[in-house]
Amino acid sequence: MEIATDIEAWTRALIFSAVFGALLLAQTYAPRRTPRTMRAQWPNAAIFLIDTGLARLLAMSSLVGASLFASTHGIGLFNRLDSAAWFEFIASVVLLDFGVYLQHRLFHRVPLLWRMHAVHHSDVNFDVTTGLRFHPFEIFVSFGIKALLVVLLGASAASVLAFELLLSSASLFTHANVALPKRFDRWLRTVFVTPDMHRIHHSVNPSEHNTNFGFLIVWWDRWLRTYTAEPQDSHEQMRIGLNTFREIPQQDVTALLLQPLKTVSGSTSAQV
């Protein structure tokens, strides 16, 4: 198990770094909105480094470990079904993505969870580093929920690794400040979430940031009526973030870590 989880960690790190670097270049040379300075991106990167360090310290970096545990003990749906490996693989990835969609809605609905998740939404800019900005407490809770889903599904190690790679890459891609051709964006979002779609989720307007919850597959938002195609204002002019925590001192690392202790505007007052 230790070898498997080590391979997972290295694979995730390599692909994550490659995707992050490519998107950083793309949003530098083809930005959708006015880019922020490199210095303004630092707090998001610092939060990510803190999250990564704490996750490694607490041995919380591996959903593959949860998959191997379920397999060893015969726990979970697919460990009890005699179905084709390819079907279990695809079904696990799709169902895990649906679980993350539901989890995301839960983080907007439950006040305590929203306080943690609001750290992500309080970014007044929107670029690939926003996809790194999650409070450590949210990382812990999210890991626990996803690990439980993996065990309940009895998802294979291969499907879990594929899902983690897709989810981390999608989180970076959907937050990238990159201008995609309009026709390509329309075609892509027939199945997948795009940056233009997810940017609406970061609108300061609660009626918009309580929509477009998906990270990877767009179907859940479309089918469950949480889909918004276009913002009320243009993508270039829409305000990003929350009505609170908009000052520069409120965007530094210490302030972000303490933010859940403050009064947070936004999502929990809406019907999500």
Residue 169 to residues 15, 82, 134, 158, 269, Cα–Cα distance (Å): 8, 31, 15, 17, 31
Q: What is the dihedral of CA 240, 180, 33, 254, to 10 degrees?
A: 50
> Residue ranges of the chain with pLDDT lower than 50?
1-3, 269-272
Work out the end-to-end distance of the chain between its first and last CA atoms, rounded to an integer number of angstroms.
39
Rounded to whole angstroms, how far apart are CA atoms 157 and 85?
A: 12
Q: Tell me, what's the pLDDT at 3? A: 42
49 backbone dihedrals φ, ψ, rounded to 5° = -65, -40
269 backbone dihedrals φ, ψ, rounded to 5° = -85, -10
Beta carbons within 10 angstroms of residue 6's beta carbon: 12
- Residue 85, judged by CB atoms within 10 A of its CB (0-12, 13-18, 19+), counts as exposed
**Under 8 Å CB-to-CB from 154, ≥6 apart: which residues?**
70, 71, 75, 76, 77, 78, 79, 80
Q: Tell me, what's the pLDDT at 7? A: 67
Q: Report which secondary-structure segment, H or E, holds 153.
A: helix 136-153
Q: What is the pTM of this model?
A: 0.91
Beta carbons within 10 angstroms of residue 225's beta carbon: 7
Q: Tell me, what's the pLDDT at 10? A: 76
Can you read off the two tokens belonging to residue 30? 């083809």
Tokens 């390509």 belong to 184
Q: Tell me, what's the pLDDT at 272? A: 38
Rounded to whole angstroms, how far apart are CA atoms 7 and 67?
A: 14
Q: Tell me, what's the pLDDT at 8? A: 66
